Amino acid sequence: MNRDELLKLLQMVSDGAQTPESALASLANLPSICMDYARLDTHRRLRRGIPETIYGQDKTPGQIEGIVEKLTEAGSPVLVTRISPETAQLVQRRWPEAVTDELSRTLAIGSLPRCAGSPVMVVAAGTSDLPVAEEAVKTISFLGRKFIRAYDVGVSGLHRLAAFRAEMEEAGVIVAVAGMEGALPSVVTGLVSVPVIGVPTSVGYGASLSGITPLLTMLSSCACGLTVVNIDNGYGAAVAAHLILGAGEKGRKGEEVSR
């Protein structure tokens, strides 16, 4: 249930079109659904404007299927991140409308209403960074935002990034994904007037320390205004970009457009 649906329910009770008892039944699963292995936060979309997301890694296929079942029964769109191809196929057999993507390791059933406004741009330093970059893209799309991609534009060939100057000017937020030494977000931040979110990846040879080196590079950037999320956290960067642009459904009344 989202804010508009809750408001409509309360208005129906106020108008006498629905009894308080039937409204209470509709709200029975707020604010949570208790399972043997999970306590689902069905109040999150009301509170934050975005529904709870399922982190699929280290969950069993049965656990993921059970959580998806409860969320869909509650009327929530569903996003699963870090899901294995085998589990994604299992879920898709039960919910054929599910959209899966092996590169980003995501699965989505439905999405939030589409938003007007500036797109989020996702730039990636190299092809090896694409799983994290695409996790960000799929999350941005699930949240109803427009997006722009610019891939394989790392600092070893800055002319490649320069070719996307117009797109960078169009974007409302830029998510910059990079492994190795992690310099790309600093370069991007120095070129634009919008917020930039750096995502260090675990891509690189030994001295990159599985993402620690690009993380420290981004945290130490002299380009003011660069914000940094955790290693390989494309999902977190996408949510941050969405909230920066409009604070979710709570902060963008009148900006939604029909899908």
DSSP secondary structure of 97-163: T-EEETTTTEEEES-PPEE-SPPEEEEESSGGGHHHHHHHHHHHHHTT--EEEEES--GGGHHHHHT
Rounded (5°) CA angle 251-257-259: 125
Write out pLDDT tens, residues 87-96.
999 999 999 9
pLDDT at 43: 74
Domains of the chain by start residue, with CATH: 31-110 (no CATH), 114-246 (3.40.50.1970)
> Where are the extended beta strands (E) located within the chain?
32-34, 39-41, 54-55, 78-81, 99-101, 106-109, 114-115, 120-124, 147-151, 173-178, 196-200, 226-228, 256-257
* pLDDT surpassing 80 at residue 28: no
Rounded-to-integer distance, Cα 29 and Cα 15, Å: 23
How much is the pTM? 0.84
Q: What is the mean pLDDT of residues 131-143?
A: 97
- What band does 229 get if pLDDT is binned at 50, 70 and 90? very high
Write out pLDDT tens, residues 181-224.
999 999 999 999 999 999 999 999 999 999 999 999 999 999 99
Task: Residue count of the chain, please give it.
Answer: 259
- What band does 173 get if pLDDT is binned at 50, 70 and 90? very high
Q: Which residues lie below 8 Å from residue 242, measured CB to CB, with a gap of 6+? A: 50, 120, 140, 143, 145, 248
pLDDT at 15: 83
- What band does 259 get if pLDDT is binned at 50, 70 and 90? very low
